[in-house]
């Protein structure tokens, strides 16, 4: 018999009863879904933060005497910076990490919203809500969702993009009714306090749970069967963003996508998102009721955008965009006849119809960016999103000026419907466009 080494550990006692086998790893939830859940929370909050100015327009007008055009200028700056920040944010996420960029963005929103309480002049509104909140929310724009889906998912990219995009609408479900109630019963300052505290709170799960790439956890992207190529090392986020823009600008597809997406922004965030509440109020509808209708648009947008993501995995994205812009144009042309002082079936029908189409354009637009620009798609989509927000900013300002000059919003609704016809033409032109270079794997 061999003598046991005195320094060797004693053998573990045999377990009593039957041994339960370890649960197979295949039943575990892939960490990509955890990252997607945290991203969903971030985008929920970001959307809610952006929706607050539309609730405060009448309150600020009554307290300070500022015109709607003046107040809309802050929203225009916010929307512009929201768009222009996106492509640089995507490059900064590659350079410094998603977690750091998102946390800094949330804290910037918190500070900008909190400082709004102290403002006394219009330029202070532009600085706080236009510049600071615009920069912060822009860092969590569509390029963020594109980065997450590109890094963590190989399968179900369209569906996950749709879900994350729908978070923008779902944020309105929470903030619009609550914010409208706060503004009406406790003043607009209570709403900005809530936004400031909420932005800080959302940063906590980002710090605790967000991870940069599947490889950090020894995983492959969800649905992948082999390790994706290592991302190109480039420490100059600004240089890379501008280089990608220069290369993309040589492509016909880039300009067609940017033009159609600018119209998307003009007819959603710029017009309806900013001016639907005051427009409904012009017809005698209470602000809380109008805010609830805008939140209902968000309800149906969640359904429409997720379904659009599902369709994007199965149907030609160009066909989807032509359909979406055409239906949106019809609904906006009819809106001036549907607004009334109380809830009526026609306006509810508009809410359902328009809501299903609100940002259903995002998943197919992202898919087309991936098709044409491959690994640079997050940054390219950031630039395409910049055009979306510039379109939104221009129309947000012009609609406010038109309301001050004409006393109603009718002309802006008809103009928005006409713009959708132009967007249909741009998307039809994509039919003859081809990828300009081989599509590398997303980083």
With respect to residue 12, please indicate whether it lies within any of the assigned structural domains: no
231 has a pLDDT exceeding 70? no
| Cα pseudo-dihedral 36, 41, 45, 46, rounded to 10 | -10
pLDDT of residue 320: 94
**Of the candidates 241, 219, 268, which has an alpha carbon nearest to the alpha carbon of residue 392?**
268
With respect to residue 141, please indicate whether it lies within any of the assigned structural domains: yes
206-226 b/e (C-beta count within 10 Å ≥ 16 → b): beeebbbbbeeeeebbbebee
What average pLDDT is seen over the chain? Answer: 81
277 contacts 290 by C-beta, under 8 angstroms:
yes
328 has a pLDDT exceeding 80? yes
With respect to residue 227, please indicate whether it lies within any of the assigned structural domains: no
With respect to residue 7, please indicate whether it lies within any of the assigned structural domains: no
- The 10 Å Cβ neighbour count of residue 20 is 7
Q: Is 79 exposed, middle or buried (0-12, 13-18, 19+ CB in 10 A)?
A: buried
With respect to residue 226, please indicate whether it lies within any of the assigned structural domains: no
Q: How many folded domains does the chain comprise?
A: 1
pLDDT of residue 358: 80
Residues 141-159 pLDDT 10s: 666 777 888 888 888 877 8
Three-class SS of residue 384?
Answer: helix
With respect to residue 215, please indicate whether it lies within any of the assigned structural domains: no
Q: Is the pTM of this model over 0.85?
A: no
pLDDT of residue 335: 93
Give the span between the Cα atoms of 117 and 440, in whole angstroms. 48
Tell me the pLDDT band of 11, cut-offs 50, 70 and 90: low
Q: Which has more confidence, 241 or 152? A: 152
For residue 266, the enclosing domain spans 30-209+236-432
pLDDT of residue 144: 78
Angle, vertex CA 172, rays to CA 258 and CA 369, nearest 5? 25
CATH number of residue 34's parent domain: 1.20.1250.20
Most confidently modeled range among 22-26, 144-148, 213-217: 213-217
- Phi/psi of residue 222, nearest 5 degrees: -60, 125
| Residues 6+ away with beta carbon under 8 Å from 186 | none
With respect to residue 253, please indicate whether it lies within any of the assigned structural domains: yes
pLDDT of residue 329: 94
With respect to residue 221, please indicate whether it lies within any of the assigned structural domains: no
255 has a pLDDT exceeding 80? yes
pLDDT over 90, % of the chain: 21
pLDDT of residue 1: 45
């Amino acid at each position: 018999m061999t003598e046991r080494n005195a320094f060797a550990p004693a053998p573990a006692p045999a377990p009593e009863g039957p041994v339960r086998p370890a649960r197979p790893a295949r039943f575990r939830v892939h960490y990509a879904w955890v990252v997607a859940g945290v991203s969903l929370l971030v985008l929920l909050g970001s959307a809610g933060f952006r929706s607050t100015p539309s609730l405060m327009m009448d309150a600020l007008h009554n307290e300070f005497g500022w015109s709607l055009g003046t107040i809309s200028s802050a929203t225009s700056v916010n929307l512009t910076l929201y768009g222009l920040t996106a492509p640089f944010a995507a490059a900064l996420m590659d350079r410094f990490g998603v977690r750091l960029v998102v946390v800094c963005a949330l804290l910037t929103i918190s500070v900008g919203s909190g400082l709004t309480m102290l403002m006394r002049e219009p330029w202070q509104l532009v600085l706080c809500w236009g510049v600071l909140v615009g920069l912060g929310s822009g860092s969590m724009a569509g390029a963020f969702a594109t980065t997450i889906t590109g890094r963590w998912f190989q399968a179900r990219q369209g569906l996950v993009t749709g879900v994350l995009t729908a978070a923008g609408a779902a944020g309105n479900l929470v903030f619009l009714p609550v914010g409208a109630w706060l503004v009406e019963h406790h003043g607009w300052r209570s709403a900005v306090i809530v936004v400031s505290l909420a932005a800080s709170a959302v940063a906590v799960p980002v710090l605790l749970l967000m991870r940069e790439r599947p490889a950090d956890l020894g995983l492959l992207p969800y649905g992948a069967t082999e390790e994706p190529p290592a991302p190109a090392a480039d420490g100059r986020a600004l240089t890379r963003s501008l280089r990608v823009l220069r290369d993309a600008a040589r492509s016909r597809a880039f300009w067609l996508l940017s033009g159609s997406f600018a119209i998307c922004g003009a007819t959603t965030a710029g017009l309806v998102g900013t001016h639907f509440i005051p427009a409904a109020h012009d017809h005698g509808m209470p602000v809380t009721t109008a805010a609830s209708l805008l939140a209902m648009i968000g309800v149906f947008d969640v359904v429409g955008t997720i379904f659009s993501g599902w369709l994007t995995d199965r149907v030609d994205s160009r066909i989807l965009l032509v359909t979406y812009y055409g239906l949106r144009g019809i609904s906006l042309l009819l809106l001036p006849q549907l607004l009334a002082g109380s809830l009526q079936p026609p306006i509810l029908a508009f809410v359902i119809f328009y809501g299903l189409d609100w940002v259903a354009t995002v998943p197919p637009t992202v898919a087309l960016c991936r098709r044409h620009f491959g690994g640079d798609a997050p940054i390219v989509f950031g630039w395409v999103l910049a055009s979306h927000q510039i379109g939104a900013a221009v129309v947000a300002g012009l609609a406010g000026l038109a309301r001050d000059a004409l006393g109603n919003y009718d002309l802006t609704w008809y103009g928005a419907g006409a713009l959708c016809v132009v967007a249909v033409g741009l998307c039809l032109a994509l039919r003859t466009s081809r990828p300009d270079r081989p599509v590398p794997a997303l980083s």
